[in-house]
Every structure is written in structure tokens, then in C-alpha cells.
Amino acid sequence: MDIKNKRIWVTGASSGIGEAVAKELAAQGANLILSARNEAQLEALRASLPNAESHIVVAIDLSKSEDIADIVAPVLKDIGRLDVLVNNGGISQRGLARDTLLDVQRQVMEVNYFGTVAMTQAVLPSMLENGGGMIVTVSSVAGKVGGQSMSGYSASKHAILGYMNCLRAEEALNGIKVLNICPGFVQTNISVNAMLADGQQYGKVAGSIANGIDVQTCAVKMVNAIRQEKDEVVIGKGISYWAPTIYRFFPGLFRRLSSSKNFRE
Ligand SMILES: NC(=O)c1ccc[n+]([C@@H]2O[C@H](COP(=O)([O-])OP(=O)(O)OC[C@H]3O[C@@H](n4cnc5c(N)ncnc54)[C@H](OP(=O)(O)O)[C@@H]3O)[C@@H](O)[C@H]2O)c1
């Protein structure tokens, strides 16, 4: 796919991976719809992009999935055609499964799973009417394997991969492409904004995230995957890149490694 002049909706565009992807897509000539909750940050990003006037800011709270269709419908009416949706907005969670409040598990699922499903279902009919489109979703390596201290996050990322793989199977013959992105650790504020077992903010950059790949490298690889119309890509380095491959071919070894003290942060 040639990115130039494509209409692309990016959620979670106010920070981290979404912001970097938006910059990369705009540099390649896309016309963007930028969404997240922080409208001021989205507006500052829009104003800084090439062809600023061709991009739109639309505030969306993914935790309020019941509102999403009503927010998306008038935008689609205005723009006429959406080529790509990048489902990137999300939150993380840190804490042992045995300690993590059910409400925290539910909040992670509301944003990462139901919010993403609601966004997808809000744009899909219009893509089908227009003969096709691409749904890109930022899951995680944590959506491919289980590790310690992230049961809610990992469950939400496994769940969204399951949904998207079914959607691909159902809509492939109708021109809908489904690309799942599974990053390992990427240097963003994801852990700063993560919820602890009791719902409080973690509030700092975790060591694993600080040692991850830089966000620009991640964004370039994501945009390449969109251009190449791939089905799924893992992006990262070190153990967070190799984990799905180790799990696939050596599941017993992976389970021993992931249960060891070295993998509890
Ligand atoms: N960084 C990593 O190591 C890593 C690895 C694998 C996958 N990921 C995934 O990558 C995606 C982006 O995360 P990031 O690393 O860039 O972290 P980030 O810097 O914290 O960005 C998260 C983005 O999601 C948005 N968001 C959070 N809650 C939202 C809500 N209720 N409604 C709408 N938007 C919401 C935030 O915007 P507002 O606060 O303005 O709403 C922000 O734009 C997430 O899905 C994350 O799970 C990250």
C-alpha cells in the first residue's frame, strides 16, 4: 500500500508509539485522524505535522466503548473514506494475578479489548461499503506469551489477537486486511501510566521499558508492515523479540524461563 494520500485513523496518538507512528505516516503523505483523550496534546501534534490542515483531531475515550460509534459516524460521513484504522491506544497493568483487583482487570480489558473492538466495529461497515480497508492493531508480545506481573494486560492483548484473527478470516474476501503488531519492550510512558494491583499508577519507567527499542524504530517498522500489507509482525529486540519463537518451538523451556525469579520485575 502506498501511504500517500491515504486517510488513516490512529488511536493513542497523543503519546509514545501512536505519536511516533502518526509522525511517520504524515511524513509519508497520509491524511490523519488523531485520537486519544488528551485533546491538547493531539492538537499540538496536529499543528506540528506536515500538511497540518489535512489532519483532524477527534477526542475518544476507549474506556467508554458505548460512545464510540456515535463519535466515529459523523467523522466518517465528513471524510467519505477511511483507508486504515490503527488501533494503538491502550494501558498496561503491573501486579501479581493473585493481588490484582477485579476492577483493575476489568479496566484494562475495557480499554485494550472492548475499546478496540468498538473502534473496529464503528469503521468496518464504511470500509466494506467502500470496497475494503485495513485494520491495524497494536497488541504485544504479551499477547503471544504469558509472563509475570501482567495477567490483565496479557489477557487483553491475547483477546484482541483472537478477535482480529477471526475478523481477518471473516472479511478477507471482502477486501479487509488485518495486521496485528506485536511489539516487545519499546521506550514510551506505558509503564508510567500502568495500573498497579490496587489501581494506583505505577508512575515510573520500568527497567525493561528503558532497555527496549526506541519508539522511532518501532514506528518505522510498523509503517513498513502497513506498506507491505503484512498479517502479523513482532517488533523488538532481545528476549522480548524472541519470546514468541521460543514459546512456539520450545514451550517447556519457555515456561521454565518465564517462571524464574529473573523474569519478575
Ligand atoms: N511500550 C511498550 O513497551 C509496548 C509494548 C507492546 C505493546 N504496546 C502497546 O502500544 C500501545 C501504545 O502504548 P505506548 O507504549 O505508546 O504507551 P503510552 O505512551 O502510554 O501511550 C498510550 C496511548 O494510549 C492512549 N490511551 C490510554 N488510555 C486511553 C483511553 N482510555 N482512551 C483513549 N486513549 C487512551 C493514551 O492517550 P491519552 O492518555 O491521551 O488518552 C496514549 O496516547 C498500547 O496499546 C500498548 O499496550 C506498548
Whether the CB-CB separation of 50 and 39 falls below 8 Å is answered with: no
How confident is the model at residue 140, as a pLDDT?
A: 98
**Tell me: the pLDDT tens digits for 48-70?**
999 999 999 999 999 999 999 99
CA–CA distances in Å: residue 145 to residues 49, 51, 89, 244: 36, 40, 20, 6
Residue 263 has pLDDT above 80, yes or no: no
**Cα 130 to Cα 229: distance, rounded to the nearest angstrom:** 18
User: Which of 57, 186, 191 best tests ligand 1's pocket when mutated (most atoms within 8 Å of CB)?
Assistant: 186
> pLDDT band at 164, cuts 50/70/90?
very high
How confident is the model at residue 261, as a pLDDT?
A: 76
Q: Which atom of ligand 1 is nearest to the CA of 181?
A: 7
User: Span 243-255, mean pLDDT?
Assistant: 96
Residue 232 has pLDDT above 70, yes or no: yes
> pLDDT band at 186, cuts 50/70/90?
very high
Positions annotated as catalytic residues are 153
Residue 168 has pLDDT above 90, yes or no: yes
How confident is the model at residue 21, as a pLDDT?
A: 98
Buried b (16+ CB within 10 A) or exposed e, 77-96: eeeeebbbbbbbbbbbbbbe
Structural domains for the chain: 7-263 (3.40.50.720)
Residue located nearest, by CA, to atom 23 of ligand 1: 12
Residue 92 Cα to ligand 1 middle (Å): 8
Closest to 156 in 3D by CA, of 189, 195, 200: 195
**Tell me: the pLDDT tens digits for 206-229?**
999 999 999 999 999 999 999 999
**Tell me: the pLDDT tens digits for 101-137?**
999 999 999 999 999 999 999 999 999 999 999 999 9
Residue 128 Cα to ligand 1 middle (Å): 28
